[in-house]
Amino acid sequence: MAAAKKSTKSKDTRSTSDRLVDAALELAATQRWRDLSIAKIAAHADVPIGEALLNHSSRLNILYAISDRVDVTVMLSLEDDPLDGTTKDMLFDVLMRRFDVMADHRAAMASISADLRRDPLSAACLGKRFLKSMTLSLQAAGVSTESCSGAIRTKVLGAIHLNTFKTWLKDEDQGLSLTMSTLDKDLSWAENFAGKASKVDIGTPEAA
C-alpha cells in the first residue's frame, strides 16, 4: 500500500499580527490603500475576520503596527551595530536604517503616503506615532528630548525625515545617492542653524 504523501507546505510561524501587516503591505504595493479593508487584508493573510479584528480593528491600527515594526527593527540593529561619530553622523545613520527597513515595501509606502494626504484625521493620528519614532531616533543618537527644546528637536527631525522620505520614494539609484544627499543636506542645515540659534538645535550627545 502506497504511503500517504506528506505535505510539503511549511507551517507559517508568523504571529497573526505580522501576517496581517505583511498582507497589508503586499496589497498596498499594487492597490490604493484607501481601497483596502480589514476583511480584504484578512482574506489575503488567510486569517479569519474575527481573529483579524482582535489584532487590528482598523487600517490605522495596522499603520501603527507598521510604524512599530520599523522602530523595533532599527533599535534591535543598534545592538549589533551601534551608532558612532558626531551627532549628525549618528542621526544620518539611524534615519537611513529606517529607509533600509522599508526598502522592500517602497511601493506600499508610496500608496499609503498618497492616501494619507487625503485623510487628514488618520494622518494626524499617525503623526503622533511618527513623533514617537523621531524621539527614539534622537535618543538613540544620545540627544536629549526633554523640555521644550527636546520637543522642537523632535519636530525638526520629523520634518527632515519626511522631506527625505519624499526623495526616497523616487530614488531609483540602488545606492540611494539622492536620498543620502537630501538627508545630509537637511541635517547640515539643522546643524548650521543650531550654531545660530541654540534654542533650536539638533542636540548634542548627553553626558554618560
**What φ, ψ does residue 141 adopt, rounded to 5°?**
-90, 5
| Residues whose CB falls within 8 Å of the CB of residue 108, separated by 6 or more in sequence, listed in order | 24, 25, 26, 28, 29
- Does the pLDDT at position 1 exceed 50? no
The domains located in the chain, with CATH, are 63-196 (1.10.357)
- Does the pLDDT at position 88 exceed 60? yes
pTM summary value: 0.89
- Does the pLDDT at position 202 exceed 80? no
Average pLDDT (123-131) is 96
Residue 59's pLDDT band (cuts 50, 70, 90): very high
Rounded distance between C-alpha atoms, residue 82 and residue 185, angstroms? 23
Here the cell at position 84 is: 558612532
Rounded distance between C-alpha atoms, residue 184 and residue 85, angstroms? 14
Query: 31-57 pLDDT, tens per residue?
Result: 999 999 999 999 999 999 999 999 999
Residues of the chain with pLDDT > 90, as a percent, come to 86
Predicted local distance difference test score (pLDDT) of residue 135: 98
Query: 142-170 pLDDT, tens per residue?
Result: 999 999 999 999 999 999 999 999 999 99
Average pLDDT (185-203) is 76
